[in-house]
A and B are shown apart, each in its own frame.
Chain A
Amino acid sequence: DAGVTQSPTHLIKTRGQQVTLRCSPKSGHDTVSWYQQALGQGPQFIFQYYEEEERQRGNFPDRFSGHQFPNYSSELNVNALLLGDSALYLCASSLLAGAFTDTQYFGPGTRLTVL
């Protein structure tokens, strides 16, 4: 049973560039959430996708956008990169978002470095 997968593992970009991160959810899951984990901190919620729509959004600017595909995989896009966007980006998947048993399972993350 494949868990949550993310690509790429590492990424180096320069300020002002754009980046796309990818996530495939755990088999059978239909909901994808994205988190940003800055160095030495806990993960912060960016947004969540279900049925190909953004359901909820955390306190992140519009430079952060996403997409969910019919196969439930998801992309996170960040435009006009800033140095402060350097972080580990985590994808989490779950089944039946909002159900009592809703539990999020995380992927290995993508380490983004902005120079």
Chain B
Amino acid sequence: AQSVTQLDSQVPVFEEAPVELRCNYSSSVSVYLFWYVQYPNQGLQLLLKYLSGSTLVKGINGFEAEFNKSQTSFHLRKPSVHISDTAEYFCAVRVRMDSSYKLIFGSGTRLLVRP
């Protein structure tokens, strides 16, 4: 069965520092990966996605992620974070169900940016 693991439940970082949020997946078939962000008391916003092509994917708000098939990882990075990046970040894998897809999410990583 496909699954997603986000090992870090919380990542504290100072403003303007770089950050990496880790995501590992398990899958025996083609992999389609997503990162979503959830700000307090809000729904999920799509940050970026990997479907095919370049393994380095750029998203909104200066985030990027790199798909690494050999390490089964899809880590999210940002070179310089802002206070406004404080939020919960979810990694997800798209799983085939007959003729459609569903998303399987990790447990989330809370990014806490401190001044």
Contact = CB atoms under 8 A, between A and B. Distances in A.
Interface residues of A, number: 30
Contacts of B94: 102
A40 B90 CA distance: 11
Given A43-B103, A43-B105, A48-B100, A101 B51 contact: yes
A77 B102 CA distance: 20
Nearest to A55: B100
Interface in A36-85: 40-45, 48, 50, 55-56, 58
A7 to B, nearest CB: 13
Interface in A78-115: 90, 92, 97-98, 100-109
A33 interface: yes
B46 interface: yes
Contacts of A6: 43
A31 interface: yes
A105 B37 CA distance: 12
A90 B44 contact: yes
15 contacts: A6-B43, A33-B103, A35-B103, A41-B107, A41-B108, A42-B92, A42-B105, A44-B105, A55-B100, A56-B97, A90-B44, A98-B100, A100-B51, A101-B51, A103-B34
